[in-house]
Amino acid sequence: ELQRARGHSLTIWLNESGILLASRKYTEKHANHQAALAELMSKGATVLICHYCMQQFDVEASDLLPGFKIGSPELIGNALFKDGTKTLSW
């Protein structure tokens, strides 16, 4: 909240098994994570999903919950690699 109030945008990149957090197929298992991501998106965060990871984990675009965006080179580049962007990973 504090960083957003300072004008910093938030983009979350889900890859590998992290993409399961965006799938309706895994709502029962990941309900808390999905709720947290939905709340962040409702406040302006962007959540991008790795297209290739979707294929690897058999997740279809129609499986994605509302608000999640399938990553493309343009979306990823615009969100993650613009001047002044800070990246955290864990």
Nearest-angstrom CA–CA distance, 31 and 21? 8
Q: Retrieve residue 69's tokens.
A: 């965006």
Q: Identity (one letter) of the amino acid at 75?
A: L
Task: Give residue for tokens 């864990």.
Answer: 90
Asked if 69 contacts 11 with a C-beta cutoff of 8 angstroms, the reply is: no
Q: pTM of this prediction?
A: 0.86
Note the pLDDT tens digit of each residue in 39-69. 999 998 999 999 999 999 999 999 999 999 9
Angle, vertex CA 15, rays to CA 11 and CA 20, nearest 5: 100
65: closest CA among 28, 25, 29? 25
Percent of the chain at pLDDT above 90?
A: 68
Instruction: Report pLDDT for 90.
Output: 65
Task: Give residue for tokens 């799938």.
Answer: 23
Domains defined along the chain, listed by start: 2-80 (3.40.1260.10)
Instruction: Report pLDDT for 88.
Output: 73
Q: Identity (one letter) of the amino acid at 19?
A: I
